[in-house]
């Protein structure tokens, strides 16, 4: 008898090199894409605003990290969408996913140890106890996490003493390198 894995879901964690410098350049870039709070949103974002040129600027600033991601995934990277989010005290993101095909990246631009992390939900219940399984992502400032777009994820209300800022991006994998 042998036991094998039927399904598994991986995620990537990538630490950004020279993050302090990158952070100020990314914050500078975001000045051109102000965030706002829409009525039905529990956070500030520029997702519904004009983000013309943001993808190109991000790709230029994060060239090394994108190279790292493509080498790891053994595929070419095609950015589909990018936006930023700020969580003030009490702000949270309800359970959602980003679609069925492709990957999502979350860049933790401004967080500290008190900031609420991102939780991912396992797409199936634990079959012994019929429980929902959560996985806490390493939501540390200066880190990028990459996971499949179809994974439901959420955050709890933010209670840190610092606004939490992230950049989210969706991308697809093109032909194998
Ligand atoms: Fe999300």
Give domain status of residue 139, yes or no. Answer: yes
Q: Which class for 109: exposed (0-12), middle (13-18), buried (19 or more C-beta within 10 A)? A: buried
The rounded Å distance from CA 48 to ligand 1 centre is 14
Give me 143's structure tokens: 């880190």
Give domain status of residue 85, yes or no. Answer: yes
Q: How far apart are CA 5 and CA 172, in angstroms?
A: 25
What domain range is 43 assigned to?
12-171
pLDDT tens digit sequence for 156-166 = 999 878 999 99
Helix axes 54-61, 19-30, angle to 10 degrees: 170
Q: DSSP letter for 118, please.
A: E
pTM of the predicted protein model: 0.94
The rounded Å distance from CA 121 to ligand 1 centre is 12
The rounded Å distance from CA 169 to ligand 1 centre is 9
**H/E element holding 153?**
strand 153-155
The rounded Å distance from CA 106 to ligand 1 centre is 8
The rounded Å distance from CA 63 to ligand 1 centre is 22
pLDDT class of 40 with cuts at 50, 70, 90: confident
Give domain status of residue 103, yes or no. Answer: yes
Q: Which residue has the tokens 């589909």?
A: 80
Q: How far apart are CA 22 and CA 101, in angstroms?
A: 29
The rounded Å distance from CA 41 to ligand 1 centre is 13
Q: Is the pLDDT of residue 4 over 80?
A: yes
Give domain status of residue 3, yes or no. Answer: no
End-to-end C-alpha distance for the chain, whole angstroms: 37
In angstroms, how far apart are the furthest CA atoms of the chain? 60
Give domain status of residue 6, yes or no. Answer: no
Which CATH number does the domain housing residue 67 bear? 2.60.120.620
Residue 46: predicted pLDDT = 97
SS3 of 164, please? strand
The domain tally of the chain equals: 1
């Amino acid at each position: 008898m042998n036991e094998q894995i039927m399904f598994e879901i991986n995620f990537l964690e990538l630490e950004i090199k020279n993050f302090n410098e990158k952070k100020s350049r990314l914050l500078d870039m975001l000045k051109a894409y102000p965030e706002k709070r829409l009525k039905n949103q529990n956070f500030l974002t520029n997702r519904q605003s004009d983000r013309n040129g943001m993808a190109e600027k991000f790709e230029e600033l994060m060239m090394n990290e994108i190279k790292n991601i493509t080498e790891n995934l053994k595929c070419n990277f095609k950015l589909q969408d990018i936006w930023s989010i700020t969580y003030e005290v009490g702000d949270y993101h309800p359970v959602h996913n980003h679609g069925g095909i492709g990957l999502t990246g979350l860049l933790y631009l401004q967080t500290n140890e008190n900031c609420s992390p991102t939780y991912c939900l396992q797409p199936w219940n634990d079959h012994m106890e019929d429980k929902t399984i959560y996985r806490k992502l390493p939501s540390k400032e200066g880190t990028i996490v990459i996971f499949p777009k179809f994974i439901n994820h959420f955050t709890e209300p933010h209670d840190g003493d610092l606004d939490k800022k992230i950049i989210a991006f969706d991308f697809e994998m093109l032909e194998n390198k």
